Structure formats: C-alpha cells, structure tokens
Structure 1
Amino acid sequence: MPMPGHDDVVQFVAKNRFPFPGQKTWPADYVTLTNAPARQRSVPAEGGEYFPDIVVIDAKGRTREIGDVEEVLDPAKIKLWKAASAAGDELPDYGTRIFFLYVPAGKEAEAQKLLDDNEVPYAGVRGYSADSSGKVVIAPFVTRGNPFDHQ
C-alpha cells in the first residue's frame, strides 16, 4: 500500500483531528489553518519564521495548537519542531505543549526518540498510513497531553 502524500495527510489531519468530528470541548473561536499547499500562518523560529503544517489560532489571532506532518525524519528539523512546540499552548497538567508530530507508520518510535533526546515538548506522536481504499489513517502512538487526544 503506498503512503499517502504529505498534503493529503495535512488536509485529513486538519479536518479530522483539529477538532475531532463531533468534539464538544473544542473552543468555538478556534480556526484551523494549513500551510500546505499554500502558506497561511507562521510561528517565530530561530533566524526567522517557520510554517508548520497545521496552525490553530483563536479569534484574537493567537496561536494555540500546532501539528506537523513529516515524510522523512530529519534531525535538522529539530530546531523547527522546537519553535513549533513553543508556539503551541502549554499543558501545565501534563508538563508539555500542544504540538503533535505525524510521521509515516513505523517511524513513530524514532520520532519520539528524536523529540525526547532533544527536549522538544509535545502532546503526541502519531503514525499515518493509508487503508486499502487509499484513505488516510491516523494511529496514536504516544500521548503526553490530554488523554482525550489519544484516539
């Protein structure tokens, strides 16, 4: 089964996880933006700005949640993941921030190790693949934030 394309995963995740369908705890003023295929919203990063794949903002324009979809795990992106994580809301009850990293199925442990070894706060690592019909499938691997998000 071929892996779904980057932009397909971004669009699926934005539509089905930020918020989950039927989620009643999602703030009414949150808006989910994507930077794929066209850039809409950046976050501050060392030396400039970074455009994570998914950026959730509130009605005042504040960045609240971040999601990034990777096709290849590249340690050179750690500084960008740190910037993305820093832009997401804190989750003080869980000691982390609202940053989710989506990686090809089978790469989740490697992604978690990169995040942990480099002290990048994150709410979750997710694997993605396609089912037999080609539809994107997301599987939670680790959730450090709200247990509701482990679905």
Structure 2
Amino acid sequence: MLQETIQFGPVLLKVSWLIIFFSLLCAYAVMIIYLRKDETLLNELSSILGNSFLLYIVIFKFSFLFFRPSMLLHNWKGILFFTGGTKGAIIGFVISLLYITFQLYKRRLFMRKVLFALLYGGMTAVITESIWIFVFR
C-alpha cells in the first residue's frame, strides 16, 4: 500500500504530487529526445511549457481568492496555505492549455514535429502515471 504523504522534517509532500512531477519529467525527457536535432525548436518549446507550468501553479495557488475572497479577510496568512482545490486545478489547466495554444500560434510553431513532440510527451506522462499507480496501489 502506498502512503498518502512523505515527511521530510517539517515538510509533508503528497505522493500524488510526486507522481505527477515524475511523469512530467519523463514526458519532458521524451520531448528532448524527440527534438534533440532541432535545438532552437526545443528551446522555444521548453520556454512555452515552462511558462505554462508556472502559470498553472500561480492560478492553482491563488484561485481560492476568486472563489472565496472572504477567507483572505478573516485569515490573511492563509494565502500561504490555501489552494484552489479541484476548481482551481481545472481552471489552471484550461488557462495553461490556452496559453500553450496561443504561444504556438503566435510563434508559428504549429508544425508536425512540435505537435508530435507534445503528443508523445503527453502520452508518456499518462502512461508513466498509470503504471506507477497500477504497480504501487
């Protein structure tokens, strides 16, 4: 049975977050391998994906201000601890996808090679996470 959290001193990390992070690293490695011959394309795609990941984290973290702004008035230190929950994760995911699409369109990167790299990376992330959950649960 897989534990829910791992404790590093005073810090608790959810195992599901570690699984997602590991699957995203595997997906990125597959994209690097697929685009290894075209370094400029890899750098642009890495920049877009990195920015979209940071955008997702910020939206997920601060979306509770949109759903329940009164919590900030009652407990202003709670901004460090609260997250947007499932609604915030969905909104962050949708906005990140829109950002990726907009940037690919703006930089004219809707090429077969980029789309296949994103497809291979996405499938790798899904398969990696599924295998991890299947094996350890």
TM-score (norm 1): 0.30
Instruction: Looking at secondary structure, tell me which structure has more strand per residue.
Output: 1
Q: Which has the larger radius of gyration?
A: 2
TM-score (norm 2): 0.32
Give the number of the structure with larger relative contact order, counting CA–CA contacts within 8 Å between residues 6 or more apart. Answer: 2
